[in-house]
A = this chain, B = another copy of it.
Amino acid sequence: MALEKEVQGGVEWRVTVPEGASAVVEPRPVNGWVDRVPAWLKAPAGFGRKAWLIGADDPRKVVHGLKVGAALSLVSLFYYTRPLYDGVGGWAMWAVMTVVVVFEFTVGGCLCKGFNRAMATVAAGLLAVGVHWIASRAGETAEPVILSASVFVLASAATFSRFLPAIKARFDYGITIFILTFSFVAISGYRVDRLLHLAQERAYTILIGVGICLLVCVLVCPVWAGQELHLLVSGNMEKLADSLEGLVEECFMEDGSEEGKQLPSAKSQGYKCVLNSKASEDSQANLAKWEPPHGRFRFRHPWSQYLKVAAAMRYCAYCMEALNGCVASEIKASEKMKSHLRGVCVKLSSDSSRVLKELSSSIRSMEESRIIPCLVTEMKNGAQELQAALRSLPEQLSAGGAEETAAGGGRGEKQTVTVSLMEAMPLITAASLLAEVSERVEGVVEAVGALAALARFEPSDRKKASSSVAPQDESVTPQREEV
């Protein structure tokens, strides 16, 4: 993406790869071993290097590969062991197919596909047997007509139903298998007489395949989609918090400081992860609904509320994108004016950032944070201070103008004020956007509050809360008693 290309200069960047996971793509070392490899070997070498990086970043992906291999080897036992082979017969290949197609990275994905495959096979098999029974009563000539027509109608209707979002999200794979099985049984039923036997054998082998998949998937280093979603949302919130602080720091950086020459830091660009992770969140929430209770997640954990939290975060991130635009357009405001606003802006951003970090750790630990209301109050106070600072800006403008043109006449003074306001414009915009971001952070607080209520987060013990986030000044401590 064009936007992502802007981040340069040795920055580590987490990209969202289509299947919903995310991988860290490190910058290439300029004088690494890659340069010493002959040119014709570079493509595969680069490829191998990428694979190595992906594996090193998330070893569970390597384990997933090995799990699929193991599940397939288990299934092939049906072929190599004679008693089993005699039992299931030549249909064991259906079990192989099931394992290859159903095995997914997350337990939720595996369960979703397994359930879809099993249910769709049974439903379509029964329906096909019924249609076949009716067709067989209709006589020699009518039989293929009835069968063909039923395949045509059912396949058309089922294919169209995939365009309904509700069906698409949960039963997409099931629809494919439904059409497949129905066509198989209906069409081949015309030739193969042992129709029920065929349907039965398919069902058995599919159950064996699904069973092996689930066993391997759940017992060997399971990856839970719910857990992934949980970590993704809380991690993104942490990034959003860092990013907000980073952006405001860059915005109000002192002109003389050496940091000013750096490109936007990785820290301040973290909000882009929030902008880009909608697709992974949606798919993970979808899969998480299939998973049984696991770890700290009970039955009916409110997975869709995570999507609302994520939407509220994205709502902040849009505003931060605009703020980033302000940082990029060089701010030429005088140092004096910057220093007038710097204090309040940095305070508000660090307040908002603390709220987000506290929310993130509250989600991660699944404990209701006691200090959130205090932090929110602090943040609101910060926003009011910012308003006050903006309110006193005209005085600063005239004062600054008066100083500079002390020797000038009345007209000169007015012009200086004009120029100063123009200079201050990006600063004012940045400050307003910051205020807007802090307002939108309240939306995140609400969404997380709803999540805490729905998921019944435990109240954290006070001792832990006070040690994890030490109050910065005494004004916070008395308030905590009221909450």
Q: Verify B163–A19 contact, CB threshold 8 A.
A: yes
Q: Verify A165–B96 contact, CB threshold 8 A.
A: no
Q: Verify B418–A187 contact, CB threshold 8 A.
A: no
Q: Verify B433–A418 contact, CB threshold 8 A.
A: no
Tell which of A51, A168, A183, A329 has the most Cβ of chain B within 10 Å.
A183
CA distance A314 to B21 in the complex (A): 23
- Is A3 in the interface zone, CB < 8 Å from B? yes
Contacts of A51 in B (CB 8 A): 160-161, 163-164
- A interface residues, how many (CB within 8 angstroms): 104
Contacts of A334 in B (CB 8 A): none
- Is A405 in the interface zone, CB < 8 Å from B? no
Q: Verify A184–B432 contact, CB threshold 8 A.
A: no
A18 touches which one: B70, B165, B315, B393 (CB < 8 A)?
B165
- Is A311 in the interface zone, CB < 8 Å from B? yes
Contacts of A222 in B (CB 8 A): none
Name the CB-closest residue of B to A57. Answer: B163
Name the CB-closest residue of B to A179. Answer: B100
CA distance A66 to B155 in the complex (A): 8
CA distance A55 to B15 in the complex (A): 36
Min CB gap A442→B, angstroms: 13
Tell which of A72, A161, A169 has the most Cβ of chain B within 10 Å.
A72
The complex is assembled from copies of this chain, and their number is 2
Q: Verify B311–A2 contact, CB threshold 8 A.
A: yes
Q: Verify A155–B421 contact, CB threshold 8 A.
A: no
- Is A221 in the interface zone, CB < 8 Å from B? no
Q: Verify A47–B164 contact, CB threshold 8 A.
A: yes
Q: Verify A188–B155 contact, CB threshold 8 A.
A: no
Name the CB-closest residue of B to A317. Answer: B318
Q: Verify B148–A65 contact, CB threshold 8 A.
A: no
Knowing A318-B321, A319-B322, A418-B395 are in contact, say whether A156-B101 is a contact too (CB < 8 A). Answer: no
Contacts of A319 in B (CB 8 A): 321-322, 325
Q: Verify A436–B329 contact, CB threshold 8 A.
A: yes
- Is A159 in the interface zone, CB < 8 Å from B? yes
Q: Verify A322–B54 contact, CB threshold 8 A.
A: no
The segment from A241-249, A347-355, A367-375, A384-392 found at the interface with B is A384-392
- Is A61 in the interface zone, CB < 8 Å from B? yes
The segment from A34-42, A212-220, A423-431, A455-463 found at the interface with B is A423-431
CA distance A97 to B188 in the complex (A): 12
CA distance A315 to B69 in the complex (A): 43
A102-120 interface (Cβ within 8 A of B): 103
Instruction: Give A150-182 as 1s and 0s: 1 = Cβ < 8 Å from B's Cβ atoms.
Output: 011101111111111100110000001001100
A61 touches which one: B50, B151, B163, B188 (CB < 8 A)?
B163
CA distance A185 to B180 in the complex (A): 22
A409-424 interface (Cβ within 8 A of B): 414, 417-418, 421-422
Name the CB-closest residue of B to A286. Answer: B18
Q: Verify B188–A73 contact, CB threshold 8 A.
A: no
Name the CB-closest residue of B to A55. Answer: B160
Knowing A72-B183, A73-B151, A428-B428 are in contact, say whether A79-B164 is a contact too (CB < 8 A). Answer: no
Q: Verify B97–A180 contact, CB threshold 8 A.
A: yes
Contacts of A440 in B (CB 8 A): 325
Contacts of A191 in B (CB 8 A): 79, 85, 90
Q: Verify B50–A164 contact, CB threshold 8 A.
A: yes
A279 touches which one: B61, B68, B80, B279 (CB < 8 A)?
B279
- Is A190 in the interface zone, CB < 8 Å from B? yes
Q: Verify B69–A151 contact, CB threshold 8 A.
A: yes
Knowing A151-B69, A153-B69 are in contact, say whether A426-B432 is a contact too (CB < 8 A). Answer: yes
- Is A483 in the interface zone, CB < 8 Å from B? no
Give me 18 other A-B pairs in contact (C-beta within 8 A), A96-B184, A329-B439, A391-B418 excluded. Answer: A1-B311, A2-B312, A17-B163, A18-B168, A51-B164, A55-B160, A65-B158, A68-B156, A69-B153, A69-B155, A69-B156, A72-B151, A72-B155, A101-B180, A275-B318, A278-B278, A394-B417, A428-B432
